[in-house]
Structure formats: C-alpha cells, structure tokens
Structure 1
Amino acid sequence: MRNVTVKYLRKNDRTGSFEYRRRVPKSLEKLVTKREFLKVLGKTQSEAVMRYGAEHEKIEHLVSLAKFGVTGLSPMEQSKKLAALLESWDADPHSAGRDDNERTWRGEAAAQLVDKYQDPTSGEYVGVPEEDGLLASALLVGVSKETPQVTVTDAFAAYLNENALKIPEQHKKQRQRFARSEKNLIFVLGGDKPLQEVKRSDARRWRDMRLKQVSPSTVRRERNDIGAVFSWAVSEMEGAGEVNPFKGMKLEAPKEGRRDQRLPLDQVVIDSVYNDLQTHKDLLQIWTLLDYTGARPSEIRMLLVSEIVPSDPVPHIIIQPRADNTLKSTWSERKIPLVGPALEVARELVEGKKGLEPAFPRYAVEGGQDRLSQALNRRIREHTDNPKHVAYSLRHNMKDRMRSAEVFPEKAKAIEGHAFSAGQDGSYGGGYPLEQLQDSLEKSLKNYRRRTPV
C-alpha cells in the first residue's frame, strides 16, 4: 500500500503494529482521566487505515460532548456522544456494567451528579439539569442499542459527511447551501422532527412559503437538495422511514429556459472591457482566453502552466480534472485549440515559468472564483445594466459565432465541453482531432476583432 499520512496514526517501532495515538484535548480533561487515547488498530497500515475512521469518530464525539454537551441534540447524536464517553471510561455503553465492580463505580459516579438535587424529605430529585440527568442515566443503564429515529438534522449531517465535495472551496459552499435549505425546512416544521413524521403536507407548506420569498428556480434547487438528503437517508440510514415526501413534488415550470438565463454580450461591451483591462494584465489575459476559446471561467482560472501548450503543432490548452480542480462533467475534459490573440497570451503565460505553477495564482485559490467573477462582472456592468450579461456570457458569444460559421454541432460541443448527442453516434469514438477543432475555431473567428489590444 502507498504510504499515507493520517494525523493520529502511528507505528509502534517496538511491536510493529499501528496505533491510534492522541493526547487528550484540554476540553476533555475533566471527563477523561487518562492523558492520551491509545488503541492498536492493526498489524498493517492498510488494516489500521480501514479501522481509523470509527476510532477517530468516537474521539471526535467526545470532544464535541465536552464543548457543547448533549442537550439540544437529536436522540441519535445524544446516543453517539454518550456511548463514546462510556467507552472512553472502558465501560460497556449498552448496559449498567459488565461486572459488579463496573456497576458499582458507575452508580457512584451517577450519584455524584444528581444526589445534590435530591429532596431529603420526599426523596425525589428536583431541578436536575438536563445535561447531568442524561449522563447519570447513561451511567446507570447505558445507552439503548436500538437505533433512534433519524431526524432532519441527523439526515443532513450524515448526507454531507458522506457526499462532501473534496475541494475545500466547493465543500464550504456546499455546506452553506445545504444549511440554508435545512434551516428553512426546520422553520416550516416548527423544529427538528424525525424524518418519518415529515409528511407531503409539510413539503407543500415548505414549497408555498419559499415561493413567496424567492424565485421558482431557487425553490427548485432547494427542493432538489432536500429531496437528495431524504432519498439518501431512506436508502442508507436505519430509522429514517421509507418515504421521501419531496419526491415528485410539482413546481411551476421556469418562465425562461436555460439559454435565457445568460445572454451574449454586445460587441461594444466586449471591446469596452478589453479597453478597461489594459492595466490589469492577468484579467486581460483571462478575458482574452475566455473570448477566444469559449471555455468556462472556472476552467481558465485553474489552468496550470503545464496545461498551456503553445509550442505544439496545434497549440492548445488542456482542461482536465485534478485533486484541486473538479470539472462540471466528464465531457468537460478536453483540449481547446489556441488561435489568434489567445495564442499570444498563452506564450506570455508559459515564458520562464515552471509546469506545475498556476497560470493565474491570484485566482487559483480558495475564493478565487468569486473574486474573478466580481472583477470581470464589475467591468461589464459599467457598459451594460442587463443582469444577464456576465463573464460567462462569452460562452454564448462563442456559440453564436460557431453557429454563424456553420460549424458542425458535434464539433462545437467538443470545443465547449458539452455532451455529444444521445444514441450510438454519441457513444462511440474518441472525439475529433485537434486539427479539425482548430479549423472550426479559425472559421468561427475569421475577421473577429482584427484590431486587438493583445
């Protein structure tokens, strides 16, 4: 197995085994008496890595318990955290104790928590804080083995944990988007509820409320996110029920098609932005590549120097997935020929640089996509107040140029990174030679901007 680095995984040089070894965080010092967590996970690294996740999750539950307690949580989260705490004390999490000795110290620990709330006259416990009561109960009887009902918050948390996007910037936006959907749904429900209790009528009330607040397209996106969470939970989580109340729920059809959501830029706007960017070299280079390739802004901003190939017989850029760069779809992976001013920009970008450097370091970082969009759209907005005119509009301009030049539709899709036609024609073969795509671009850009600032 290739060596991997896992934060708390260590090899014991004496025994040769692999261990989970972690100093007890300060937040846990009052709950956990030992100085470090230590558990043998396996004789090989591969075996240890497979078991690492469960052990790490247990410790993280303890850290969360110390920071936030167990009140205000769903039954599932309460059970996980209390079970993790009992296990950290080497106690059986699902009973009162394995033997008389364990049952004795657990009873004494529970008494220390709640005896001070016992009324000496009646013998009843009065005013026991919920936190102390839950912990005392876990000490006395353990945590039930039965899986608690899955609530809305449980489902969202588990879904995002299982389907988290790998790139930090994308993951952050994913969590923010789902958090908004979760918050709006819980507001309609009047609080966190078990998934089994969420009915179709609740889904319709959510829909009606959101349609009064935001556009139908936003409601549709939120419905898709919530529906994905419910469907995944029903399929993967015990206690989530069997029905997704958001499945098949009708929404008003969009009043405008996808092609109307962004519109091509007028040529005077394109030319004006070129002029405005003369003193902003990297933005001018990005604008030129967008204009002459029809690529997506996200694809251009993430280019590495090694993915810009101006010296090839057919100069081109390479759009490909990387660990720090995902693509919209598998069809997005492609090579786009460089013609005209785009080729000159490419030569500038590779001169004196190393292959693994980002071509645009200011924008190939977390938050770079938003920063790039704001920078370009701000210039565009100085010359048009149409909200459908944005940097992405240059893809629509390129589409129109290829249509006007009567470029074969499949070749246009190969340049744009769109899926080929359905059926056998789209399922076979490896695409088009770069020479043919170069011809198509040159034909589309013939006489375009003869006087360029680049």
Structure 2
Amino acid sequence: MAHIPYTIFRSGTFYYNRRVPKHAVEAYGQFIRQALSQDPDEAAAYAERLSNVLEASWVNPSCVKPVDVAAVVESFKPRSVLLSEMSEEYLSLRRIDETPPRSALATFISLAGNRDVAGYTREDAKLFVCHLLKRGNKTATIRRRINSLSAILNYAYSELDIDKRNPFTRLLIQGEGEDSLKRGTFTNDQLKQGYDKALSSGSTVKLLMPLLGETGCRLAEIVGLKLEDIDLQEDLIHIRPNSARRLKTPNSTRTLPLVGYAKLAIEQVIQRSEREWLFPRYIKGGTCKATHASNALNKWLKRDFEGMTAHCLRHTMRDRLRALECPNDLIDQIGGWRTVGGVGVSYGRGYAVEQVREWLQRACL
C-alpha cells in the first residue's frame, strides 16, 4: 500500500497524523490526529486538502487562525441528499412553471424511488422513458420531461460537487419526432370570428386570443404581464422578466406596439384587473400559472377551431408577417425568437418601435 503523507493506518481506517509547528501548538496542541476514511484514495484526497487548510491557518507565525479539524474533514465528504430535497431547492431558485418538472419528478420517483441524487443510473433513466412510451406520451413530451429531470440533476451535481455523468445525458427516445404533428394555422376569417367572440364574451380568458394573435407573444409573456408593463398612452407593452415569470430567451425581452384587436382586448382586460397584474387569477404564490391559462383557453379554441391551440396563434402571426415579406430578423424581433441568420443580425439595437408598429399595422385585421 502506497504511503499517504501525514497519515497512519489503524484498525482498517486511515488517520491524519501530524506534528504541529511550535508557533501553532497553543492553538492546536502538539499533534493533530483525525479519522479520514477507510478508502485509501479518499483518505489521500482528504489528507491533501486538510494539509492545505491547516498550513493556511498557521502560515503567519504571529497570527494563527485555528480551524475545527473534524468539521473541515466532514465538509470534504459528499453529502447524501434526496432527489426530492434537491428538487425543492432547484425550483425555489428558478422562476419557472413548476407543473412540468413536478409531473416528471412524481413519475420518476414512483419508478426509481426517492434516493440520494448520486445513486441514480442510466437504467433508471431508460426505465422512465420506457414507462412514458408505454403510457402513450408523445416523444416531444417525453423529451421535455427528460430535460426537466436532467436540469435538476445537473444542479444537484454542481452544488454537491459530484463528479458523475448525468444519467439523462444524450438519452435516446425510440421514434423521436415521428409522432409529431405540424401545428395548424388560423385563417383570417377564423381569427376575426374568434376575436369578435372574445371581445363580446366578457371572458378574460377568451380575450387572450386577440392578445396572442395580434402580438405573436408566447402565452406566459402575456399572462405574466404587470400593469406597469403596459403603456396605453403610447399603445405599447413591455415584455420583460419579473418576479413571477422569466422569459424563454435573451431575445424575448422586447417592446411591442398594440394595434387593432390587441389594443381593444387589453383595454377590456385592464378594466377587470386588480393590483399589479394584468391576469391576477393566474398569479398564485408569486408564480405565473401559464399552464392553467393555456388549458382554459385551449379548451375553447380546440372546440371551436378544429383542434387549434393557443400556440397556433403564434405560428399564424409568423406566417402573416412572412406573407407580407416582412424581413426575417424583424419577424424574430416581434416574436422574441432566437435569430439564426448569422452574427450580423444580432448587432445594434434592432428595429425601432415605430418600424415594428408599421409592420404590425400592415398585418392587422
């Protein structure tokens, strides 16, 4: 067995064993002896790290700063933390809709158990995918669930300093993408019909249709608006992160003009709003519950518009702008899409608000 500096081996355990320099004897005593580990590699690593800490504490002969040796060694040892505990910590730090990750966690824990985060294996991850496939989940849904769990484990490994490959990394899903359906788009007649019905319905949920359809925004961007984000004098909304919801990409922060049906709809919603939020019913516990709004809106849209959803409105706006030969980078700016046209398009401040207003007015119904 190779010798490990400053250690002795007794009764199956390695101990740190070191004579203390004269100038530090008053703080530490003549010798330091502390149990390290039964594993030689682990003991060698702990001994080296403890030596560094001790030498730093007595490097100045005139000012020795003693440390709690037992506590220092204990801090070297990896913590055993349950997945549920790390998940709560992760979700408390991230301003995201908690429903998808909590759904993924509940399913995964029911299959693999609530264990130490370092104990999960590739087989656990494969079991999770197999289970979701058998339940009939779409592969896109499964991929989102994998991404949620992967993000939590990445956070745990980083915080706990665990050197381990994430079991969800590069996990393949059989037939991924083959079950996807291309999202439909609304006709102009369908949009007008829906907008008119929304404005006369008295329903704030239905008013989301013209707000989404005439701005191209993501649903959470509208549902999570604060009243201070809305400027009715200039007919503008400021899409920016806040305490209830973050934005999907850096490009998502933007200012959009309100034209046509969007302006009429937001005027109605504001009259029914209270305190600081445009849609207070979907702000619960300081978090934007966009999924709840999506479910409520989609129930109506799917019934009246041949299975269309709220996200189809976003696709429709892109098609409408494309049909007008609007520049691609301006379309990306309006929708807050990540631009893929090369480095140059990301330079500068982008298009002015009045230029954006001009194109939205051209697309206005």
User: Structure 1: how far apart are the matches of 2:148 and 2:361?
Assistant: 42
The question of 1:342 aligning with 2:265 is answered no
Paired residues of 2:78 and 2:160 also in contact (CA < 8 A): no
The alpha-carbon distance between structure 1 residues 221 and 283, as it changes in their structure 2 partners (threshold 3 A), is: closer
Shift of 1:353: 9.0
1:183 maps to 109
Shift of 1:323: 1.8
Shift of 1:337: 1.3
Paired residue secondary structure (1:336): strand
Shift of 1:254: 1.4
The alpha-carbon distance between structure 1 residues 211 and 411, as it changes in their structure 2 partners (threshold 3 A), is: same
1:236 maps to 159
User: Structure 2: how far apart are the matches of 1:394 and 1:310?
Assistant: 23
The question of 1:154 aligning with 2:82 is answered yes
Shift of 1:300: 1.9
Amino acid at match of 2:237: I
Query: Please, which of 324, 339, 343 is the counterpart of residue 420 of structure 1?
Result: 339
Paired residues of 2:122 and 2:167 also in contact (CA < 8 A): yes
Query: Please, which of 219, 226, 232 is the counterpart of residue 149 of structure 2?
Result: 226
| Aligned alpha-carbon RMSD (Å) | 3.6
The question of 1:164 aligning with 2:103 is answered no
The alpha-carbon distance between structure 1 residues 155 and 412, as it changes in their structure 2 partners (threshold 3 A), is: same
Paired residue secondary structure (1:420): coil
Amino acid at match of 1:218: T
Query: Please, which of 180, 186, 211 is the counterpart of residue 289 of structure 1?
Result: 211
After the TM superposition, which residues 274-423 of structure 1 pair with which residues of structure 2 at under 5 Å, given as runs?
Answer: 274-277=195-198, 278-312=200-234, 315-347=235-267, 357-365=276-284, 369-386=290-307, 389-421=308-340, 423=342
Shift of 1:442: 1.7
2:352 maps to 433
Paired residues of 2:97 and 2:289 also in contact (CA < 8 A): no
Paired residues of 2:83 and 2:116 also in contact (CA < 8 A): no
1:262 maps to 183
User: Structure 2: how far apart are the matches of 1:250 and 1:274?
Assistant: 42
Paired residue secondary structure (1:293): coil
Deviations 1:132-191 (A, max 9, x none): xxxxxxxxxxxx94877666x624522541453455xx464266235225414415xxx7
The alpha-carbon distance between structure 1 residues 149 and 348, as it changes in their structure 2 partners (threshold 3 A), is: closer
TM-score, with normalisation over the residues of structure 2? 0.66
User: Structure 2: how far apart are the matches of 1:146 and 1:358?
Assistant: 45
Paired residues of 2:129 and 2:142 also in contact (CA < 8 A): yes
Percent identity, please: 24
Paired residue secondary structure (2:238): strand
Residue range with higher mean Cα deviation, 369-378 or 430-439: 369-378
User: Structure 2: how far apart are the matches of 1:199 and 1:378?
Assistant: 39
Shift of 1:333: 1.0
The alpha-carbon distance between structure 1 residues 349 and 411, as it changes in their structure 2 partners (threshold 3 A), is: same
2:134 maps to 212
Paired residue secondary structure (2:103): helix
Structure with higher RCO (Cα < 8 A, 6+ apart): 2
What are structure 2's unaligned runs of at least 5 residues? Answer: 1-68
Paired residues of 2:330 and 2:351 also in contact (CA < 8 A): yes
Amino acid at match of 1:231: N
User: Structure 2: how far apart are the matches of 1:244 and 1:359?
Assistant: 40
Amino acid at match of 1:328: K
User: Structure 1: how far apart are the matches of 2:208 and 2:90?
Assistant: 35
How many residue pairs match? The answer is 292
User: Structure 2: how far apart are the matches of 1:247 and 1:175?
Assistant: 17
